[in-house]
Chains A and B, each alone.
Chain A
Amino acid sequence: GDSVTQMEGPVTLSEEAFLTINCTYTATGYPSLFWYVQYPGEGLQLLLKATKADDKGSNKGFEATYRKETTSFHLEKGSVQVSDSAVYFCALSSTGGFKTIFGAGTRLFVKA
């Protein structure tokens, strides 16, 4: 069945460091790919998405590119801030599908 695997956390970075959180997926067809973020005490929020191969999703300085050949959707940010501290979830939704399949989440701590 469809699945998502993302790098284990926690990831601890200093402010202004470069961030990469790896995500790979297994799916039939051509899924849509998502990154969700969960800030402390808040609900899941969609951060960015990509719906087809080579699409790049971006938001709030974060980027991820849909790589079909490597079945990956890695999250990157050039310069993290303390306010980016949160749990990040990679997810997929299959073509015509009705449910979203999530990775286990990666907790990010950014130190001032």
Chain B
Amino acid sequence: DTGVSQNPRHKITKRGQNVTFRCDPISEHNRLYWYRQTLGQGPEFLTYFQNEAQLEKSRLLSDRFSAERPKGSFSTLEIQRTEQGDSAMYLCASSLPGYNEQFFGPGTRLTVL
């Protein structure tokens, strides 16, 4: 399968715990994006990488959130001290340079108890 993959697909955690999600983009795509989607809403942009450089962060991304893409390939999104309001689907997408069509992964559904 050459699409965008995300792991884990589901994560249940207790409030206050840290969680980390992984995204593997399509191999030749140098742009990588993270979005958050809550029930009944469209995805909301969180952050964007071009290669290993994080070029933009949304105000939605509080200081408890950090994203990395150390070698310009896969990316991780960490949430520290999770809160119930963090419960959502976290989506990763990738694209080729110069193209604004993004390809989405299946998402990681986070439930904070």
Is the pairing of A and B real? yes
A63 to chain B, nearest CB (A): 18
Cβ-based interface call for B25 (8 A): no
Number of interface residues of A (CB under 8 A): 22
Query: Dominant SS at the B interface?
Result: strand
Cβ-based interface call for B110 (8 A): no
Query: A46 to B99, alpha carbons, bound, how many Å?
Result: 14
A104 partner, pick from B40, B48, B101, beta carbons under 8 A: B40
Contacts of B50 in A (CB 8 A): 98
Contacts of B33 in A (CB 8 A): 98-100
- Which residues of chain A have a CB within 8 Å of any CB of chain B? 4, 32, 34, 36, 42-46, 49, 89, 91, 93, 97-105
- Which residues of chain B have a CB within 8 Å of any CB of chain A? 31, 33, 40-45, 48, 50, 55-56, 91, 93, 100-107
- Residue contacts A-B, CB under 8 angstroms, 11 given: A34-B101, A44-B91, A49-B101, A97-B100, A98-B56, A100-B33, A100-B43, A100-B45, A100-B102, A104-B40, A104-B41
